[in-house]
Structure 1
Amino acid sequence: MSMKYTMIILAIVGYLGYMIYLGVKLAKNNKSSDDFYLGGRKLGPFVTAMSAEASDMSSWLLMGLPGVALLNGFMGNTTGFAEAFWTAVGLAVGTYVNWLIVARRIRIYSEKTSSTTIPSFISDRFGDRSGLLTAIAAIVIIVFFIPYTASGFAAIGKLASSLFGIDYHVAMVVGAIVLVAYTVLGGFLAASTTDLIQSIVMTGALFMVICFGLENTGGVDGIKNAILSLDGIDSLGQYFSITGTDGTSYGFLPIVSTLAWGLGYFGMPHILLRFMAIEDEKKLALSRRVASVWVTISMGVAIIIGVIGFKFALDTGMIFDKGFDSENILIYIADAMASADSFAAILAGIIIAGILASIMSTADSQLLAASSSVSENLIKRFFWKDMGNKAQMWLARGTMLAIAAVAMILAWDSDSSVFRIVSFAWAGFGAAFGPVILFALFWKRTTKWGAFAGMLTGGATVFLWKYLVAPNVAVLNIYELLPAFVLGSIAIVIVSLLTKAPEKEITDTFDEVSAYCKAK
């Protein structure tokens, strides 16, 4: 093995070792299942902010977004940069609004109802004693999160396999074991703390690639000229047909469709849990500023990396290689960077560790959310209600190991799609939970049957729109989250108005939370 790969591996091993160390160190803080799943509501503002955004962005930030931007002008694609730009705008706005209107209220409300998971909050908010809402919400989380976690395991395997030639299955299993180890040991606090570290590594990786690009693609002027030379850049904010399918413009519907990504934030369980876990709701304002600035800068840098990557791939000729994959552009750049000297190889190792961090920061949160849904919201709720603290801890860890095993089985096929599931799962969570969370927090008249109808309509519409409507009706070929979110909201309103109003105890709690939020 060459020196450059040795240095890269050393950097990665050091990073993985530190993650396990944190898991072991933080394991002693877990005295109950509440500590394991919500960190005892003790997260500081910076950990809350960076953990939420690192678990949000995933490998999409370092691989997916630059890959989309890079594709602009390649193989006749003239909308890649526009798609990346408008998606980033939608996500930046969605991030800010979610922190602004949802974070504080759900922190206060969830503590008032003693809720530690999203399914339990939805059930407690509407006084559902039957367990119907808990079961539906838990099933939604399991359906979308286990394959989502599997895609993270697969990404780890493909990363090591493509860079070092290591067997895909060995790399995938080793990466999954490390991730599961620190999450099983340390729980929510370990996942959140490592997410903070991982966000720093991700940021470092982004800016290292930018510096490398400035040096090797003509500096700031070179990047500026590369952006201005992109096909269709002048039509970024224009449209000549409503669908924008003529290949020369990015239409009105595609712009609205990509902006709709921001709606997903209102229903993301692993992000909402961070809001619920902060130590003091008054510190959420600081968290909001930190999170919004980091997300905006990081996505902007990621898009520029896509442009740098396009020029780099053209200059080196690799873009014409049969095996070229636009989403691996950071890996290609890191590999080229490592050839300079030992120090550059270490920096390249940090870039690869950044990609690994982006994968793990999301997968650990997904694993935690999925396991809590099974152990707390299904097993304990329906089969073992009088479970003690020690038994709850063992059940929590055992459930996580079982879910991780299922995810590894799903990821075993080396040809499985890593990123295809991401946008679909995002739409599923956003449509099934987003409207319900917003109405639960802001409309007193919402009933449990309205919430049930909203989750069912939103989740079902995602499937129907994705596989039936969009492929067959060109003008309606938009991101399934948008129509599903709208129809889910309509269902909540109609069914709530047609069913019996909530009990006084439920509305009194709503009024208390609203009064507290207004007073402070």
Structure 2
Amino acid sequence: MDSSSTSVFELWGMSIGPIEIAFGLYLVFMLAIGIWAYKRTNDSSDYMLGGRGLGGAVTALSAGASDMSGWILMGLPGAIYFSGLSESWLALFLVIGAYINWKFIAGRLRSYTEIADNALTLPDYFAGRFHDGGKWLRIAAVIVMIVFYGYYIGSGLVAGSKLFESSFGYDYNTALLVSTIVIISYTFLGGFLAVSWTDFFQGLIIAISLVVAPIVLLVEYNGLTGIVEGVKATGENLGKENLASFTAGLFDENNAFKWITFLSLMAWGLGYFGQPHILARFMAIKSVNTVPQARRIGMTWMAICVLGAVFIGFAGIAYFGGDFTASEYKLLTPEEVAELNTSQGAEKVFLLLTQALFNPWLAGFLLAAIMAAVMSTIDSQLLAVSSSVTEDIYKPHMRPNASEKELVWVNRFVVILVAGIGIGVAMSGSKNVLNLVGQAWAGFGAAFGPVIIMSLLWKHMTRQGALAGIIAGGASVLIWDYIGNNTDIALFGLYELLPGFIIAALTIYIVSKMTTVGEQTANQFEWYSNEFKKYKS
């Protein structure tokens, strides 16, 4: 799309139009929140968990926004556009996983982290839960976070770079640098408070965009019937007759059920139990009694966003998938048409629909929604890993007597360091958002998920079992992924999260049965169980 046709003025040789202005105002607002939060951040507890004072709405939307990332506006619509409605199974299992996480983990984790020496980070919780005097649990957990957040942050930077590249004509590396600078700035300044409040507003923007765009598309096609007919016509033209089928992707050419595909899609829901940036919201909520309200808000938000994203990808098939010579597709160049028919290029379908359908000022707002989705995950991830490095490595092993002010500044500089790792991943690896997210999601889900669940529900889990589970889960994901990429054995096509999760859970159980729970740990679990029974979840 040539934005010069709507240019308002020229700046440094660049054409500045309504899209650029609307988008720029959004970025300024995010930075203003960072400055506001900076003035209210006095110690490491404020920087890492906002003083445990988040209300239900902020907790819900910030948890949802930090969860969904660029996947909800790029990865999911792109998958639907490229492969059809059968990709929506993944979204269904994610919704189920998110609900179970809110229902059975959120309140328990909030309660136990306060009992376990007021833990501020996930590694801090592990150490307090199992009284890890040797600190090996902390160290293992931090290593896992550094490794898999590299993939996760890289995926977000890829999504942000695609936005700048497609919308404003920047080359990929320049776009990568611009998006990184913006995200680092407010995370560096305001910490958890800035991240949570920016995520709250970004969650609102994402939800609005995923309501407005489908409504406009329904009007454009005079209802859902017109869109379905357009998708079917496109499928016939492209030789993909099953684009409108929910189940086509689950059966092969011989009509045999594809169990590995189905189990891989189902496994995505398991990832929720081990994501540090989501679990941090549970730890920071004002009280356990606030969890039910937050759960209702969060799940409503997620349902709206997932349905909107699926609809956008589906409607995009009808809008862009047919006769590209027709007048309504004049905004697409031949190069853009060719790119949309690849799995990576398909992730731009929401970007292109936005620019084709909307007034430039509204398009700027909706493009900001994509950047909001990207920012809201990267900022949370940067903060989660920087907090863990500071609280679990720097403070106990390097500077036990460090002042609160020093710890806050160490957090800020680790944010910059980890962002650099993410840039390296984004520049050197895959440029497919869904693939990068999948690797990180699996790593955290397998390494931390079973440990979190069993530590909250099983009295007889031991410190040795937790350590073995973290190592087994993280390592099995990396090994399974490597073998899967270098062999034709069908079993290794299974999404690595499922075998990793099972291996970690079995390892925890076996090792815990072979070792003994300390008296202090057992007494603390009894205390936690009695305290949690007082609340209604």
TM-score (ref. length: structure 1)? 0.92
* Residue 211 (structure 2) pairs with residue 207 (structure 1): yes
2:418 to 403, 413, 417: 403
Give the distance between the partners of 2:122 and 2:257, measured in 1 at CA.
37
Alpha-carbon contact 1:232-1:249 (below 8 Å) kept:
no
Give the distance between the partners of 1:472 and 1:381, measured in 2 at CA.
46
Give the distance between the partners of 1:455 and 1:88, measured in 2 at CA.
26
- Residue in 1 that maps onto 2:350: 330
Deviates more, 1:417-426 or 1:39-48: 417-426
Q: Which amino acid aligns with 2:532?
A: C
Task: Tell me the C-alpha RMSD between the 2 structures.
Answer: 2.2
- Residue in 1 that maps onto 2:90: 87
Give the distance between the partners of 1:404 and 1:144, measured in 2 at CA.
13
Q: CA deviation at 1:335?
A: 1.7
Alpha-carbon contact 2:78-2:349 (below 8 Å) kept:
yes
**How do residues 163-242 of structure 1 correspond to structure 2 at under 5 angstroms?**
163-226=167-230, 231-232=241-242, 236-237=246-247
Q: CA deviation at 1:369?
A: 1.0
2:363 to 348, 353, 367: 348
1:486 to 502, 515, 521: 502
Q: CA deviation at 1:414?
A: 9.5
Give the distance between the partners of 1:225 and 1:508, measured in 2 at CA.
63
Alpha-carbon contact 1:168-1:414 (below 8 Å) kept:
no
- Residue in 2 that maps onto 1:76: none
2:32 to 9, 14, 21: 21
Give the distance between the partners of 1:204 and 1:236, measured in 2 at CA.
26
Give the distance between the partners of 2:496 and 2:153, measured in 1 at CA.
21
**How do residues 27-46 of structure 1 correspond to structure 2 at under 5 angstroms?**
27-46=38-57
TM-score (ref. length: structure 2)? 0.89
Give the distance between the partners of 2:261 and 2:113, measured in 1 at CA.
36
Question: Over residues 87-136 of structure 1, what are the superposed CA-to-partner deviations in whole Å (9 max), with x where a residue is unaligned?
Answer: 11110000000000000000010011110000110111111010100000
Give the distance between the partners of 1:169 and 1:253, measured in 2 at CA.
37
Inter-CA distance 155–443: structure 2 relative to 1 (3 Å threshold): same
Inter-CA distance 249–40: structure 2 relative to 1 (3 Å threshold): farther
Deviates more, 1:195-204 or 1:170-179: 170-179
* Residue 135 (structure 2) pairs with residue 131 (structure 1): yes
Inter-CA distance 288–177: structure 2 relative to 1 (3 Å threshold): same
Inter-CA distance 174–477: structure 2 relative to 1 (3 Å threshold): closer
Deviates more, 1:402-411 or 1:505-514: 402-411
- Residue in 2 that maps onto 1:75: none
- Residue in 2 that maps onto 1:102: 105
Inter-CA distance 417–302: structure 2 relative to 1 (3 Å threshold): closer
Deviates more, 1:311-320 or 1:158-167: 311-320
* Residue 268 (structure 2) pairs with residue 268 (structure 1): no
SS in 2 for 1:323: helix
Give the distance between the partners of 2:438 and 2:231, measured in 1 at CA.
26
Q: Which amino acid aligns with 2:354?
A: A
Q: CA deviation at 1:269?
A: 0.2
Deviates more, 1:223-232 or 1:193-202: 223-232
What are the ranges of 5 or more consecutive residues in structure 1 without an aligned counterpart?
73-79, 339-343
**How do residues 449-468 of structure 1 correspond to structure 2 at under 5 angstroms?**
449-468=464-483
SS in 1 for 2:253: coil
Give the distance between the partners of 1:414 and 1:487, measured in 2 at CA.
28
Give the distance between the partners of 1:452 and 1:415, measured in 2 at CA.
31
Alpha-carbon contact 1:236-1:249 (below 8 Å) kept:
no
Q: Which amino acid aligns with 1:420?
A: N
Q: CA deviation at 1:409?
A: 4.1
Question: Over residues 456-510 of structure 1, what are the superposed CA-to-partner deviations in whole Å (9 max), with x where a residue is unaligned?
Answer: 11111112222215743214521111111111101100010011x2111111111
2:312 to 293, 305, 311: 305
- Residue in 2 that maps onto 1:519: 534
Give the distance between the partners of 1:333 and 1:465, measured in 2 at CA.
37
How many residues end up aligned between the 2 structures?
Answer: 503
Q: CA deviation at 1:225?
A: 3.8
Q: CA deviation at 1:211?
A: 2.2
* Residue 379 (structure 2) pairs with residue 375 (structure 1): no
Q: Which amino acid aligns with 2:462?
A: T
Inter-CA distance 22–250: structure 2 relative to 1 (3 Å threshold): farther
What are the ranges of 5 or more consecutive residues in structure 2 without an aligned counterpart?
8-15, 236-240, 325-331
SS in 1 for 2:388: helix
Deviates more, 1:290-299 or 1:462-471: 462-471
Give the distance between the partners of 1:28 and 1:508, measured in 2 at CA.
40
